[in-house]
Each structure stands twice: as structure tokens, then as C-alpha cells.
């Protein structure tokens, strides 16, 4: 009898202990706040929150981390945009306020809907907000500046509309401000110049307008400045020059900027990526660009820039696009030819007049994209395509390339092949049928077409191609 009661007692103790170790381990308010958050999620097809069970230790739940094993301090949930079930649908419950020690919210690629969640104002320890690639909408709150404790604010990839609130100037501790890929309108608030700690400012891909403010002399910690894909007009402001020591990424492409490219950009010792494409910059590329010895990505395409192109001293350019300006480069530039790491070369309509067989690139292995369209290039691309294993796109329409199309290697990775208006001869190989886009019009090709999904306009203007989508081949003896 004694033994039995001792056994019962110790079992009871064990049960109590295990209870203590589960629900008692994380703070009861955090436990309740997170379950309330879960109840605001209407659809969780991949079971991202399946470990969030009542009565268990919330510090052990997926995506949760705790301070001192008791208080929840971060929630980190990431969807997978490549998978049909890789998301989480719902809204952010106001009861999240119970998780009072939260200092970081990281929601990536989910499907969180609703307006800017007011509950964020009532979490006094919150320092990091990353709600990226979700479906938040409506305006940004005009009193967003009350969250003065914030270090990072990223709301990129949502559907926010309206102006960037001027109170954002109060968030003086911000290191990162990312509002890109939304539907924001109006000018850049001048108060952003007060955010002296900023290292990352991204407003790209919105509908912002006006000039780029001349306020960068107080923002010398900036490493990344992304203002591309907006409607900014006017010139590149002079105060950008103060970013020379630290700026690594300057992206101003796809706007309506005018004037000349300032020569002070040549002093940007840390510059990795410069995108000025799709604007209306005129005159020449400054000689000082010769000093950009460490630039990896340079995109000046779709402007009105003219000769001469400066002599560059960069050892390894990775991607270069000078297409659709007013250059007459005559040949592929030496610093491109000698790059051991280049993967993307776009020199469409650059006035190149060489024979491709004379081109001796140091390395072709890494090439993904080559665009040499609308130049006066003769010779054959067969050797070049045979030396690339990962080519995705080859564009060379509007040249004088003369080669047997049947001997062209179509790499398994190739998706786009455009060779219209050249002097290619021979037959169309079967291997082109797997491509996503193809244009072989206006060459000297002949013979029966293999079956493909491409329209007649991809094949017209050749010597004697026949078969669908062109007229049928003549039967012998007919």
C-alpha cells in the first residue's frame, strides 16, 4: 500500500514537473499573445505554425526565440514564394500586444493582409520591423514617427499607398529604411536628412516624384541607396558626393533624370553597383570613372550618352550594360574582354564593328547573358556559344553574323535566342524547340522547320524555310 501511494505520488510529481516545463517555461502573456496571433491566421497550408500548441512551451515553437528562456523577443516567419503552399494568410492580431518584450518581427514572403498594424505602436521594445513581401495596404500612419526606438524599418514589397509621412524624420535611430516595391506617391520627405545613422535607404519601385533632394551631406553612413523605378526628375544632386567613402550601391535607374553624370562618382572608392539606366543623361561618361577599379555592376543603358567612353581600370567587371546610347565603341572593350568573372554583357547598339572571330575573351564560362544586337559584327558566334555552359540569353539581331545555324550549340540552360537580320544559313535545329523565345527572321535559312511553339514572324524573311507556321514544304516531284 505504502509502495503504491509512493508510486502515485512520484507520478503526480512527474506530471506536475512536465507541466511546469511546458506551459510554465514561457511567459503566460507571451503564450496567450502568440496563440491570439495564430488565431488571426486563416490559412496555413504548409503548417508553419503547427508547433504552436496550447499548453506547450512557446519558446520552442517554430519561428520563436526567447530571452532567458522565458520572454519571447523575436518572431521570424518566412514563406517560400517558389512553392504553391509556401505562404501564410491572415492579419496581425491586436492581441500580439501581450508579447511585450518583442524586439523583432520578421515576416518574409507570407500573405499578411490589412492596414499597417496599430499594435506595433504598443510594443515599446520593438526595434526591428521587417514585414517584407506581404499584402499590407492603405496609407502609412502619419504618426509613424512615434516609434522612435526603431533601428530597422522594412515594409518593402507590400501595397502601401499615399505619401511617405513626414514624421518619419523622428525615427533618428534608423539604420535601415526600406519602403521599396509599394505604391507610394509624392516627394521624398526632406526630414529623411535627419536620419544620420541610415546605412540602407530603399524607396525603389514606387511612384515617387519630384527631384532627388540635395540633402545627402548628413547621410554619410549610407552604403545602399536605391531610388530606381520611380518618376524622379532633375539632376543628380551635388551632395551625393559626400557619400563617396562608404556608398556601395547607387541605383537611380528607370526615372526621368537629366543632365550629365557627375564626375565625382569616380571618387566612390567602395562602389560595387551603379545603375543609371533608363534616364536621360547626356554628354559623356566622366573620365574619372577610370578610378572605379572595384565596380562589379555598371548599367548606363538607355540614356543619351556619347563618345568617348573612358578607359576603365577595373579588374573584374561582372555585369555591364551600355546598350542604347550614342556610343561608337568600334570593338568590345579590353577591360570587358579581360574580365575573369563576367556573366552579363550587354552592348546593343554600341557601334561595334568587329569580327567576332577576333574576340578572345579571357573567360566565357560564367556567361548567362550576351546582348550584341544592332551592331556591325561579322564572323560567327558558334565558337562562343560552344564555350558557354550556362548561357540563358543570346541576343545578336541586326548584325552581319555568317554561320551554319545547324552547328550552333543550344545549351540546356538557354531560354532566349534572337538572331534575326543576320546572314545565318543552314537548317533550323530541333534543339530550339525548348526555348522560351526565338527569332531567326531575315537570314538565309532553308529546309523544313522542326515543330515549335513560335509564330511565323520568328521565321519569315529566310531563303527557303518551310513547314508550320510557314507554308508547307513542297513535296518532291510536285
Q: Does 433 bind ligand NAG (CB under 6 A)?
A: no
Does residue 111 bind ligand NAG (CB under 6 A)? yes
Adjacent-strand bridge partners of 319: 297, 344
d(CA 435, CA 173): 50
How many residues touch ligand NAG (CB under 6 A)?
Answer: 26
Nearer to ligand NAG, 10 or 457 (CB): 457
**Chain mean position to CA 137:** 21
- By beta-carbon proximity to ligand NAG, the closer residue of 339 and 441 is 441
Q: Does 413 bind ligand NAG (CB under 6 A)?
A: no
Interface pattern 354-383 for ligand NAG (x via CB under 6 A): ----------------------------xx
Query: Binding string, 301-320, against ligand NAG, x = CB under 6 A?
Result: ---x----------------
Q: Show contacts with ligand NAG in window 249-268 (CB under 6 A).
A: 266
Q: Report, in Å, the least distance between residue 79 CB and ligand NAG.
A: 9
* Residue among 78, 209, 282, 297 that touches ligand NAG (CB under 6 A): 282
Q: How far apart are CA 133 and CA 143, in angstroms?
A: 23
Q: Is 133 a residue that touches ligand NAG (CB under 6 A)?
A: no
For residue 320, list its beta bridge partners.
298, 345
3-class state of residue 407 by DSSP? helix
Q: Residue 207 in 3-state DSSP?
A: strand
Mode of pairing for the β-strands spanning 89-90 and 41-43: antiparallel
In the complex, least distance from residue 150 CB atom to ligand NAG, rounded to whole angstroms: 27
Q: Which sign does the torsion angle of CA 351, 355, 356, 362 carry?
A: negative
For ligand NAG, which residue of 168, 458, 462, 465 counts as binding (CB under 6 A)? 458
Footprint (CB under 6 A) of ligand NAG, residues 78-97: 87, 89
CB 318 to ligand NAG: min, Å: 22
CA angle 447, 449, 452 (to 5 degrees): 170
Distance CA 159, CA 113 (A): 10
Q: Give the DSSP letter of residue 38.
A: H
- Which three cell numbers mark 8? 502515485
Record the cell numbers describing residue 31, joined without a space: 503564450
Residues 28-57 that bind ligand NAG (CB under 6 A): 43
Sheet with strand 207-211: strands edge to edge: 41-43, 89-90, 111-114, 135-139, 159-162, 183-186, 207-211, 231-234, 256-260, 280-284, 304-306
Q: How far is CA 149 from the centre of its chain?
A: 29
Nearer to ligand NAG, 282 or 433 (CB): 282
Contact map string, positions 382 to 411, toward ligand NAG, x by CB under 6 A: xx--x----------x---------x----
> Judged by CB, which is closer to ligand NAG: 112, or 164?
112
Tell me which residues touch ligand NAG (CB under 6 A): 43, 87, 89, 111, 113, 135, 266, 280, 282, 287-288, 290-291, 304, 382-383, 386, 397, 407, 420-421, 439, 441, 455, 457-458
Amino acid at each position: 500500500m505504502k509502495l503504491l501511494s509512493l508510486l502515485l505520488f512520484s507520478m503526480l510529481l512527474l506530471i506536475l514537473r512536465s507541466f511546469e516545463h511546458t506551459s510554465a517555461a514561457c511567459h503566460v502573456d507571451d503564450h496567450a499573445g502568440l496563440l491570439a496571433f495564430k488565431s488571426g491566421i486563416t490559412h496555413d497550408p504548409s503548417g508553419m505554425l503547427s508547433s504552436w500548441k496550447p499548453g506547450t512551451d512557446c519558446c520552442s515553437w517554430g519561428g520563436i526565440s526567447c530571452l532567458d528562456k522565458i520572454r519571447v523577443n523575436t518572431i521570424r516567419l518566412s514563406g517560400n514564394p517558389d512553392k504553391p503552399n509556401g505562404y501564410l494568410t491572415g492579419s496581425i492580431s491586436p492581441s500580439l500586444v501581450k508579447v511585450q518584450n518583442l524586439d523583432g518581427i520578421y515576416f518574409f514572403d507570407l500573405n499578411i493582409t490589412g492596414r499597417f498594424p496599430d499594435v506595433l505602436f504598443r510594443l515599446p521594445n520593438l526595434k526591428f520591423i521587417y514585414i517584407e513581401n506581404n499584402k499590407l495596404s492603405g496609407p502609412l500612419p502619419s504618426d509613424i514617427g512615434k516609434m522612435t526606438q526603431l533601428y530597422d524599418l522594412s515594409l518593402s514589397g507590400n501595397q502601401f499607398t499615399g505619401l511617405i509621412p513626414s514624421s518619419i524624420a523622428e525615427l533618428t535611430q534608423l539604420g535601415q529604411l526600406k519602403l521599396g516595391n509599394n505604391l507610394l506617391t509624392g516627394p521624398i520627405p526632406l526630414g529623411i536628412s535627419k536620419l544620420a545613422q541610415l546605412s540602407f535607404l530603399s524607396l525603389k519601385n514606387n511612384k515617387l516624384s519630384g527631384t532627388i533632394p540635395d540633402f545627402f551631406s548628413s547621410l554619410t553612413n549610407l552604403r545602399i541607396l536605391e531610388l530606381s523605378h520611380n518618376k524622379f526628375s532633375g539632376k543628380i544632386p551635388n551632395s551625393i558626393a559626400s557619400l563617396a567613402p562608404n556608398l556601395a550601391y547607387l541605383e537611380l535607374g528607370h526615372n526621368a533624370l537629366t543632365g550629365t553624370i557627375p564626375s565625382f562618382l569616380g571618387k566612390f572608392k567602395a562602389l560595387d553597383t551603379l545603375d543609371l539606366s533608363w534616364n536621360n543623361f547626356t554628354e559623356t561618361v566622366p573620365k574619372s570613372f577610370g578610378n572605379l577599379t572595384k565596380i562589379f555592376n555598371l548599367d548606363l543603358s538607355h540614356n543619351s550618352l556619347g563618345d568617348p567612353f573612358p578607359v576603365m581600370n577595373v579588374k573584374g567587371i561582372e555585369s555591364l550594360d551600355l546598350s542604347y546610347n550614342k556610343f561608337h565603341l568600334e570593338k568590345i572593350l579590353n577591360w570587358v574582354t579581360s574580365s575573369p568573372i563576367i556573366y552579363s554583357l550587354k552592348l546593343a547598339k554600341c557601334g561595334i564593328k568587329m569580327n567576332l572571330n577576333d574576340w578572345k575573351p579571357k573567360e566565357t564560362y560564367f556567361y548567362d547573358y550576351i546582348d550584341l544586337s544592332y551592331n556591325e559584327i561579322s564572323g560567327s558566334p558558334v565558337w562562343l556559344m560552344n564555350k558557354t555552359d550556362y548561357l540563358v540569353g543570346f541576343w545578336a539581331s541586326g548584325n552581319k553574323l555568317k554561320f551554319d545555324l545547324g552547328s550552333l550549340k543550344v545549351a540546356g540552360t538557354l531560354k532566349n535566342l534572337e538572331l534575326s537580320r543576320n546572314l545565318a544559313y543552314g537548317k533550323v535545329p530541333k534543339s530550339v524547340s525548348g526555348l522560351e523565345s526565338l527569332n531567326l527572321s531575315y537570314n538565309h535559312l532553308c529546309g523544313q522547320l522542326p515543330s515549335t511553339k513560335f509564330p511565323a514572324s520568328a521565321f519569315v524573311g529566310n531563303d527557303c524555310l518551310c513547314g508550320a507556321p510557314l507554308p508547307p514544304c513542297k513535296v518532291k516531284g510536285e
